Amino acid sequence: MGQHVLLRHRDIPDIHRLDVYRRHGGFEALEQAVTRMKPHEVTEVVKASGLRGRGGAAFPTGLKWSFVDNKNWPHYVVANADESEPGTFKDREIMEGNPFQFLEGMAIAAYAVGANLAYIYLRGEFWQIAHFLDQKIAEMEAAGFLGHRLFGRDFSLQIHTHLGAGAYICGEETAMLESLEGKRGQPRIRPPFPAVKGLYGKPTVVNNVETLTNLPPILQNGADWYRSLGTADSAGVKIFSLSGRVRKPGNYELPFGTTFRQLIYEHGGGILEGRPPRAILPAGASSSLIRVDDKALDTPMDYASVRTLGSDLGSASVIVVDDTVSIEWVIRKTIHFFKHESCGKCTPCREGTYWMFNIIERMEHGRGTAEDVNLLLHVARQMQGKCLCPLGEFSTMAVVTGIERFSQDFQVGEKA
Amino acid sequence: MTKSVTLTIDGQAITVPEGTLVVDAARMAGIDIPVFCYHPKMEPVGMCRMCLVEIGRPLIDRNTGQAILDEKGDPKLQFMPKLETACTNPVSEGMVVLTSSEKARAGQKSTIEFLLTSHPLDCPICDKGGECPLQNLTMAYGPGKGRFLYDEKMHLAKNVPLGPLIYLDQERCIQCARCVRFQDEIVGDAVLGFGERGRAMQIISLSEPPFDSVFSGNTTDICPVGALTTADFRFGARPWELSASASICAQCSVGCNITFNTRRAARAGGRVVIKRVMPRQNEEVNEIWICDKGRFAYHYTESRKRLTRPLMRKDGKLGRASWEAATRLAAEAFAQAKKNFVVLASGRLSNEDLFNLKALADHLGGRAVLYSDMGGGDLTALVGVGPGTDFGQMGRGTAIVVVASDLYEEAPIWYLRLKQAAERGATLIVANPRPTRLERFASFVVRYAYGDEVKTIQSLTKKGKIGDALQARNLVVLFGSEGLGLEGSTALATACARLLHESGHVGRPNNGLIGVWPRVNDQGAWELGFRPAENLAALLRGKAVYVVAADPAGDDPRLAKALQAARFVAVQDLFATETAKLANVVFPAQAYTEREGTFVSGERRVQRFYAAVPPLGESRPDFAIASQVGKQMGIILEGTSAPVVFEILSADHPSFAGLTYAALAEVRPQWPIVDRRDLYYGGTTYENTQGMGKHLSNAAQRGEALHLPRFPRRAARRPTARGLLAVPVTKLYDRGVTVSSAELLKPKISETFVALPPSAAERLGIEDGARVKLRLNGVSRAVRVKVDEAVASGVVLVPRSMGLSIRRPVVARVRMAESAARS
């Protein structure tokens, strides 16, 4: 793909400079929206484009906006830049390389839902990016693309950055809102969803950085253009964060429907040392493990197709595992991660991740028994469907699919 | 009217108001859905995942809006693939809930198993054992055995003081956040929170001083495990060994319903003693809460310093005497004094006591004087709130004025009730010379100078939006005595009564005047004819004085002098007070925990208390002693049965008309349904089976002519060029006789200090924390100073009942103590 839609800095040097961004059509979409479209018309275009949330849940973006309660004001837009899923590193590249397109997307979203205040919630480790974005926001304000009465119209917008304090859970939208309000980052019960009751109890749209970055080109080129990219189920382009045992890990912006084989071999340069791939985690640590065979490798990467493999595309953080890696090791890593990140609010996740960690550690140190594999599977299943938020659910995905699909990797008692 | 919704839970069809949560609907139908984090007084959070149930909702045809029917003609149901939490889902029409299906039971069982993975299972040494929701629900819903390896349990600290009153056992905590949410939502002070995360998540105190709340004890009632225990009760007894006696808290005029848990204790020499104080549900008074003073200050009733025998002065010294001799001596002196006989009694006494004492004074032509520096009780009898009044029902359409009172310190439960009324939409107007905590929830705050109370109330109606707010359908005015003596508070009460009367807010439920009295039964004393005296010292000189439940000599050196100049002094009390030390005869009274009786709350609700423990020594009930003294002079007063005294007094006083002990013992159905048999829902609070009390009627309701008095015409005291205006303020924890025996509360009772504004401190060269000489009413005392920006210039705040004699605003002198010692 010659021309990037999102990672345009790879094609256009210095697009992080306001003048360069403007020379390449920057802020035309925002101006078009604010001066020539009604807010609901913007929402309609986004609906028609088929754009779905890029944070992992793939909820239709325009539909989400249309849930915003217009009887309750003010409204807020929050950009989810908490990018914490192990294996996901796409938002970072967007914000560092092509910041104005992301910020313009935020402004478009804010216009569509009538928000005059928008926040970018960044993971704490992104503090340099927050400084960088603060500069970019200041430049936009100076140039009249943010602030009071944009383009002379009755629409004003301020954007603020906000740093998290190092919790994976704050990528979950309601925990993010709690954290943004200055509270402990723990998820809220949904419903009500943020579009109805979000930040400070007010209707709030929470969109992922990548989702928002799609908006300027969609407005400029139209919904049909966007739909022409990707597949019927999954419109447009996606940044695939490729990592694991591949030669060329990195972000690859590709249309939905690109196969795993194309991603791994054409773009990623194949597996290290030419070894065979065994498993794919298509959505970072939260993945259900895909057992690799030809059918899997030739499966197009779109939301519906990946589901046929008993997994989910999620945020498209494709981690490739080859035959040098034991799946038991993989799930030990994921369990350790989720045990560390469980916020502690709900019982099954708090206790379940701790319990699973104890079992897998036991197995790792050769103290496991045959029953322990079953117990681990049972504990994970016992957590499923009972947790307050998706984190607890995610923590069981690799465990259950790992044990079920790679049972030979769980040999008990061999390690001394 | 809220709409009704009909749903089916476990095959039982029930109809409940729209918006009811499934868990509450089940409770109403008598079906148990187990919970840990959910509490009916707080917003649901769905954390513990104990209440997992299957919920099916009828499928609705999008085109017709009608339910889709199956082949049998029943609505087709759609069940979610996952179990749902009954605590976060509101009911909907046609909903079907399965609480005990195989799937639901499996979910509940799994939550118990998860909760017990790291639980220490130290039930045999746990205070909660025997009244523990986790224990009970484990028996009912748990898997029976755990698969978690015992050696892998997480070990944590077991004796963490969250504050001086509450201990946390981190191992037992199940992170349900009930305590955190109680402080946050119910109290409005987020002094607790969580530290760490995941399995390491722990309750921590966020405040300095730690757990800075006067409601902290309630968290131990709603804690569903043994994680939170009170410093008072922990390791004190097993719950199943305890007896329960219904009572009323005697620490302030709210009249919280409580239960005394008692047990025979080796440590008390085999006597039956109070082991703890628990709230008893009365949704019209205290709901299921009590304050920490009510929970922990009871120790005075069992103090070793209690009087146990009558004493008589012989050869200048008090010595043991028989009841016969002691009462005869007093009777002779009183009979001789006739109209020079004065009963000086306080609102610590029950109605029955006060009635007999008043009868004694009346028979002799003497005076019944209420020992109080706060006036206006005659007005609350006229236009006070009456039957049908309930703070819990107040919301939109009600305006509430609080003037000259810091409710958080003076009547904590009213603070909670008013906060909630404001949250339900009541217009709360708080008028006080300095900021108080209640102001955070007020619609309007009025600040005035000490001395301008009357003017402030009189001008409220002219104050734009406040004036409009006072036109609400219902209006309640609570007046206190912040910065006021008897004269000032009487004038303030008069202004408040007139405001209510003139705006038509009298004689109806949820309308009228409420006094924030310092003592539990001040209102009762007023109703029964006791009146405070403005110049008490002059009144006592040369009289035969019967001092009951009061220590004037200890409170005010001038009263001590007056009593020394009295003809005869009889003292009837729990303790050998300063007054008792100069008495001719001393009668040991029973504590109210040892007998039965009734109190009238500030809301004019008559409530019964019952005997909880056997009497100490030879002590007798106050009304019985009065009767015995009377009998020695040929005056016949009922002296054995409190119910009979009450019958006589209710026949005698129109506001008590028709009330009997039986009527006071009636209970009405209450929501939430709390029950000691299933503690998981409401906590360990006691259900009310022994009476919710009845309101007194008021003159306005009875249609009697209302003659509101004129204003007393005297100029208010102001600061002078050389002196500061010392004004009395009330603190929750003071050195009063009913508090100071509680060792546990000692750290909470601050050193005696007076508060100065920065301007005065600067002028006098005094720094925060310095020791100063305070010259007050001719007496000099060394005290510590707090410099407080909230104090108006020219004013010095002097706490009541902290050893400084201040009964009304006076001009005082403050200067640096010679040593200028600072700690």
Instruction: Please tell me the predicted confidence (pLDDT) of residue A320.
Output: 98
Give the count of alpha carbons within 13 A of B500, CB side only: 34
Q: Pick from B744, B750, B748: which is nearest to B276 by CA? A: B744
Residue A192 C-alpha, separation from nearest chain B C-alpha, in angstroms:
11
Taking the C-alpha atoms of residue A136 and residue B521, their distance in angstroms, rounded to an integer, is 68
Closest partner CB to A351 (pick from B82, B115, B149) = B115
- Asked if the Cβ–Cβ distance from A344 to B196 is below 8 Å, we say yes
* Whole-angstrom distance, CA of residue A169 vs CA of residue A346: 13
B461: number of CA atoms within 13 Å, CB side?
Answer: 14
- Residue in A with minimal Cα distance to B88: A189
Nearest to A171 by CA among A319, A318, A54: A54
Chain B 722-741, CB below 8 Å of chain A: which residues? none
Q: What is the pLDDT of residues B128-164, one digit of tens each?
A: 999 999 999 999 999 988 899 989 999 999 999 999 9
Q: What is the DSSP string of A161-180?
A: EEE--S-GGGGSHHHHHHHH
Q: Map B510-536 to HEC letters.
A: CCEEEECCCCCCHHHHHHCCCECCCCH
Please report which confidence band the pLDDT of residue B495 belongs to, taking 50, 70 and 90 as the band edges. very high
| Helices and strands in chain B: count of H runs, count of E runs | 24, 35
Tell me the shortest Cα–Cα distance from A77 to chain B, in angstroms.
25
How many other CB atoms sit within 10 Å of the CB of residue B350? Answer: 30
Closest residue in A to B108 (Cα) is A386
The residue-averaged pLDDT of B5-31 equals 97
- Mean pLDDT taken over chain B: 95
Nearest CA in chain B to A362: B152
Give the model's pLDDT for residue B687.
97
pLDDT of residue B817: 73
Say yes or no for a CB contact (<8 Å) between A351 and B194: no
* Bridge partners, residue B402, by sequence: B430, B478
A338 touches chain B (CB under 8 A): no
Residues A348, B49: C-beta atoms closer than 8 Å = yes
Q: Suggest the residue from A347, A367, A372, A376 to mutate for an interface test with chain B (most B CBs closer than 10 A).
A: A347
Strand partners, B515: B479
The closest alpha carbon to B452, from B461, B444, B460, belongs to B460
Alpha helices in B613-748 (DSSP H): 622-632, 642-652, 661-664, 679-682
* Phi, psi of A263, rounded to the nearest 5 degrees: -60, -50
pLDDT of res. B821 = 45
Measured between CA atoms, how close is B435 to chain A, in angstroms? 26
Is residue A187 within 8 angstroms of chain B, CB to CB? no
pLDDT digits (tens, 9 = 90+) for B569-607: 999 999 999 999 999 999 999 999 999 999 999 999 999
pLDDT of residue B180: 98
Q: What is the pLDDT along chain A (416 residues), one digit of tens a residue?
A: 469 999 999 999 999 999 999 999 999 999 999 999 999 999 999 999 999 999 999 999 999 999 999 999 999 999 999 999 999 999 999 999 999 999 999 999 999 999 999 999 999 999 999 999 999 999 999 999 999 999 999 999 999 999 999 999 999 999 999 999 999 999 999 999 999 999 999 999 999 999 999 999 999 999 999 999 999 999 999 999 999 999 999 999 999 999 999 999 999 999 999 999 999 999 999 999 999 999 999 999 999 999 999 999 999 999 999 999 999 999 999 999 999 999 999 999 999 999 999 999 999 998 888 899 999 999 999 999 999 999 999 999 999 999 999 999 987 654 44
In this structure, the number of other CB atoms found within 10 A of the CB of residue B397 comes to 12
DSSP B555: H
- Reference B429, options A302, B421, A30; nearest CA is B421
DSSP A8: G
Instruction: Tell if the CB–CB gap between A354 and B117 is shorter than 8 Å.
Output: yes
- In Å, what is the CA distance from B486 to each residue of B264, B372, B458, B503, B543? 44, 8, 19, 26, 22
Q: How far apart are CA A12 and CA B437, in angstroms?
A: 60
* Parallel, antiparallel or unpaired: strands A158-163 and A115-122: parallel
Pairing of strands A237-244, A250-255: antiparallel
User: Among B110, B152, B175, whose Cβ lies nearest the Cβ of A350?
Assistant: B175
For B36, nearest residue in chain A (alpha carbons): A347
Q: Residue A370's pLDDT is what?
A: 85
**Distance between CA atoms of A32 and A22, rounded to whole angstroms?**
14
Q: Do B107 and A386 touch (CB under 8 A)?
A: yes
Element (H, E) at A409: none
Return d(Cα B577, Cα B311) in angstroms, integer: 13
Q: Confirm if A74 and A115 have CB atoms less than 8 A apart.
A: yes
Beta strand B585-588 with B311-314 is antiparallel
Touching check for B157 and chain A: CB below 8 Å?
A: no
User: CB B198 to CB A351 under 8 A?
Assistant: no
The whole-angstrom distance between A353's CA and the closest CA on chain B is: 9
Q: Which of A167, A350, A385 sits opposite B199 (nearest CB)?
A: A350
Q: Are strands B4-9 and B96-98 parallel, antiparallel or unpaired?
A: parallel
Which residues of chain B are within 8 Å of residue A355 when distances are taken between CB atoms? 114, 117, 148
Q: Can you give the pLDDT at residue B515?
A: 98
For residues A281 and A327, the answer to whether their CB atoms sit within 8 Å is no
Tell me how close the Cα of B53 comes to any Cα of chain A, in angstroms: 11
Closest Cα partner for A52 from A277, A250, A221, A207? A207
Give the span between the Cα atoms of B363 and B632, in whole angstroms.
Answer: 13
Those residues with Cβ within 8 angstroms of residue B691's Cβ, 6 or more apart along the chain or in another chain: B246, B607, B608, B664, B665, B666, B667
Beta pairing, strands B694-695 & B605-609: antiparallel
Give dist(CA A9, CA A324) in Å, integer. Answer: 36
**Cα B728 to chain center, whole Å?**
21
Contact A322, A280 (CB under 8 A): no
In angstroms, rounded to a whole number, what is the distance separating the alpha carbons of residues B276 and B270? 17
CA distance A46 to A52: 9
- Contact state of A346 with B47 under an 8 Å Cβ cutoff: yes
The answer to whether the beta carbons of residues B554 and B577 sit under 8 Å apart is yes
The verdict on a CB contact (< 8 Å) between B114 and A340 is: no
Question: Which tokens sit at B552?
Answer: 């004037």
Q: Is A74 helix (H, G, I), strand (E, B) or coil?
A: coil
Q: pLDDT value at position B511? A: 97
Q: Do you find a cis peptide bond into A191, omega within 30 degrees of 0? A: yes
List beta partners, residue B287: B282
CA distance B287 to B281: 5
- Alpha-carbon gap, residue A128 to A143, rounded angstroms: 23
Which of A339, A358, A386 comes nearest B110 by C-beta?
A: A386
Nearest CA-CA partner of A146 in A19, A66, A34: A34
Determine the pLDDT at residue A415: 46
- Nearest residue of chain B to residue A368 (CA atoms): B149
| Per-residue model confidence as pLDDT tens digits over B170-212 | 999 999 999 999 999 999 999 999 999 999 999 999 999 999 9
- Tell me which residue of B297, B802, B298, B309 sits closest to B580, measured CA to CA: B309
- Cβ separation B45–A348 shorter than 8 A: no
What is the dihedral angle through the alpha carbons of B740, B745, B747, B750, rounded to the nearest 10 degrees?
A: -60
Helix (H, G, I), strand (E, B) or coil at B561: helix
Contact B361, B339 (CB under 8 A): no
pLDDT of residue B823: 42
Q: Work out the number of other CB atoms within 10 angstroms of the CB of residue A122.
A: 26
Q: How far is B520 from chain A (nearest CA, A)?
A: 40
Taking the C-alpha atoms of residue B645 and residue A307, their distance in angstroms, rounded to an integer, is 81
For chain B, say whether A374 makes contact (Cβ under 8 Å): no
Give yes or no for A122 touching B (CB within 8 A): no
Q: Are A14 and A20 in contact (CB under 8 A)?
A: yes
The reported pTM is: 0.95
Of B50, B52, B198, the CB nearest to A343: B198
**Measured CA distances, B369 to A33, A66, B111, B116, B559 (Å):** 81, 72, 62, 61, 14
- Chain B (296-315) residues lying within 8 Å, Cβ to Cβ, of chain A: none
Q: Which chain A positions have a beta carbon within 8 Å of B148's beta carbon?
A: 355, 358
pLDDT in tens, B259-312: 999 999 988 899 999 999 999 999 999 999 999 999 999 999 999 999 999 999
A-interface mutation test, from B110, B116, B178, B194, most A Cβ less than 10 A away: B110
B49 at A interface, C-beta within 8 A: yes
Instruction: Please report the beta strands in A24-156, taking only residues with DSSP state E, as ranges in sequence order.
Output: 75-81, 115-122
Instruction: Choose, out of A351, A384, A391, A395, the residue to mutate when testing the contact with B (most B CBs < 10 Å).
Output: A351
For the record, the structure tokens of A106 come out as 């935020």
Report how far residue B145's alpha carbon sits from residue B131's, in angstroms, rounded to the nearest whole number: 21
Burial class (CB in 10 A: 0-12, 13-18, 19+), B476: buried
Residues A200-237: b if buried by 16+ CB within 10 A, e if exposed? eebbbbbbbbbbbbbbbbbbebebeebbebbbebbbbb
Residue B820: pLDDT over 60: no
Alpha helices, DSSP H only, in B542-655?
Answer: 552-555, 557-564, 578-581, 622-632, 642-652
Q: Over 70: is that where the pLDDT of B822 sits? A: no
Which residue in the set B45, B199, B201 is minimally distant from A189, CB to CB? Answer: B45
pLDDT band at B819 (very low <50, low <70, confident <90, very high): low
pLDDT the model gives residue A2:
60
